[in-house]
Amino acid sequence: MSEMVLLGDEAVAQGAIDAGLSIAYGYPGTPSTEIVEYLQEWKRKEDESLIASWCSNEKTAYEAAVAVSMMGKRALVTMKHVGLNVAADAFMNSVGYTIHGGLVLAVADDPGMHSSQNEQDSRYYADFARTICLEPRNQQEAYEMTKDAFELSEKLHLPVLLKLTTRISHSRAVIKRGEVRPKNEFNPSKDRSHWTNLPFLSRQNYEDLWQQRPVLAEISEKSDYNPLILNGNNRDVAVITTGLAYNYYKEAERDLENKPSHLHISFYPMPEDKIRELAGSAKRVIVIEEGYPFVERFLKGILPQAVQVDGKLNDVIPHLGEITPDICRKAMGLEAFEKAEIPEIEMPGRPPQLCKGCPHTDSYKALNEVMGEYENPVVTSDIGCYTLGYFAPHNAIHSCLDMGAAVTMARGAAEAGAHPVVGVIGDSTFMHTGIQGLVDMLSAGNKVTLMILDNSITAMTGMQQTIVESSGIINVVKGCGVSPEHVRTIIPLPKHHEENVKIIREEVEYNGVSVIIAQRACIHVVKRKYAKG
């Protein structure tokens, strides 16, 4: 049994490799990105037959993985939590399939919103879909659970959701590798009824899924991933932990004279019998979990009123951000850890900002000059580096909702009477979910200018290759139906400023859909190029 030092994300990737993974798909998004990157490096060094690809978005990634499963091979899909919103349609419908080759969906949540627009908890999606969710408490479990997830998927014919969080994904630990399983052979499913969601088939598939609930519940009750330790000498309080909170609780537990009974939940659906057994041993149950009060709400539905449940709903545990050791200690009635004294140093404020020399800076300068000529201009933006155009000195954008919304919100603003309206989106994001909005605008005949800030890379998540190169984006835009004379390109450099202002001014006054593509590589891409010679 070999040992490796791996990030939690890398442990998932290694677990998938050792479980006989054939193909992985994903869309880059912090904190999940390193899973596919590790697989791509493994392919380069160890296994040319492994496929690990970035896709246009999370939905296309998930759909492709379902087809791999249909062919009998094992597939992994990766994304961050908000990406599961994009893939939700495919994920929810795939639960009605009879999964053939193992299908595992690894989703990394971001409590504390270090690089995300919300804190949503992916356990709700697994519960919503009525499938299994596994939530590792450390990197070793991330490795082992990934292997187990593939086995469960094939055994129960269900997709399995593996839920990670930032701290697990992005911290390292020693991993002990287990046996390596060979890949599945090409073995297409023969029964079309298992893969076709026509209503008369879906009704039966849903009934089969419903009937499977007791099986999942029994597995959860017996799972070693849900350990229950009872202490009959402490009838006052009991504790339930999930995910990373286990580690913080165990640190605090060392300082408790009379240790509470403790249930840790890593396998969902929740083990109801174990929960009742735990609650029956104490008057008060403290729930320590990251994300939403998922377990806590469940408890309030199944436990008698005499048992007091404390957690996020009554602010015993903070509802926002990551769990910390001190949060856990406070909930257990312990003092916070003593902290090392750090001399006070006045640090300059460092708000997020575009890099020096970023091409987006010159794009925003030209755009701002034109927008400044109007009384009520609207600039809708998207998710990516260019969102930093919100901050001074740019102050260039008025909105940011989700991936692709720069385009659709521009349409809405224009149809509500705004003028001029410019949607700003990046090259990778345009291919993710911007194209569909552009088609909508063309269908409606809106008077909108779309600016695609093309820096030839998916920059914010760590320089992943974009799905289509710059020349391809122009063809896509024209192929959608934008009039060729209103598909313009600019080079966002100071020496082209006046020319760029002229082009933007002309296009915002065009009575139709126009697209301006600002083409200049990210400075970090240029640095890499020069570094390689």
What digits encode the pLDDT tens for the residues 449-465?
999 999 988 888 888 88
3-state SS string for 361-412? HHHHHHHHHHHCCCCCCEEEECCCHHHHHHCCCCCCCCEECCCCHHHHHHHH
Is 466's pLDDT higher than 90? no
pLDDT of amino acid 525: 78
What digits encode the pLDDT tens for the residues 227-239?
999 999 999 999 9
Q: What is the DSSP letter of 192?
A: G
What digits encode the pLDDT tens for the residues 356-400?
899 999 999 999 999 999 999 999 999 889 999 998 999 999 988
What digits encode the pLDDT tens for the residues 26-45?
999 999 999 999 999 999 99
Instruction: Judge residue 419's burial from the number of C-beta atoms within 10 Å of its C-beta, 0-12 exposed, 13-18 middle, 19 or more buried.
Output: middle
pLDDT of amino acid 305: 67
Spatial contact of 423 and 450, defined as CB atoms under 8 Å apart: yes
Give the whole-angstrom CA distance, residue 386 versus residue 50.
34
Share of the chain above pLDDT 70, in %: 99
| 209 against 527, higher pLDDT | 209
139-156 and 8-18 are packed helices; what angle lies between their axes, rounded to 10 degrees? 40
**pTM across the whole model:** 0.86
- Residue 284 neighbours by CB distance under 10 Å: 16
Residue partners of 247: CB distance under 8 A and separation at least 6: 137, 138
What digits encode the pLDDT tens for the residues 47-83?
999 999 999 899 999 999 999 999 999 999 999 999 9
Own/partner long-range contacts of 410-413 (Cβ < 8 Å, ≥24 apart) = 410/378, 410/380, 410/437, 410/441, 410/446, 410/448, 410/450, 411/437, 411/440, 411/441, 411/444, 411/446, 411/448, 413/378, 413/380
Is 401's pLDDT higher than 90? no
| 352 against 475, higher pLDDT | 475
Q: How confident is the model at residue 155 (pLDDT cuts 50, 70, 90)?
A: very high
Give the whole-angstrom CA distance, residue 124 versus residue 197.
23
| Mean predicted confidence (pLDDT) in 166-183 | 96
Own/partner long-range contacts of 223-226 (Cβ < 8 Å, ≥24 apart) = 223/266, 223/267, 223/271, 225/134, 225/141, 225/145, 225/266, 225/267, 226/263, 226/264, 226/265, 226/266, 226/267, 226/271, 226/274
- Give the domains, in start order, of the chain with CATH numbers: 3-222 (3.40.50.970), 228-332 (3.40.50.920), 359-530 (3.40.50.970)
Q: How confident is the model at residue 337 (pLDDT cuts 50, 70, 90)?
A: confident
Is 351's pLDDT higher than 80? no
Give the whole-angstrom CA distance, residue 410 versus residue 420.
10
pLDDT of amino acid 335: 87
| Mean predicted confidence (pLDDT) in 256-284 | 94
The per-residue DSSP string of 96-128 comes to TS---S-EEEEEEE-TT-SSSS----THHHHHH
- Residue 477 neighbours by CB distance under 10 Å: 23
Q: Tell me the residue type at 520.
A: R
Is 303's pLDDT higher than 90? no
Average pLDDT, the chain: 92
Is 467's pLDDT higher than 90? no
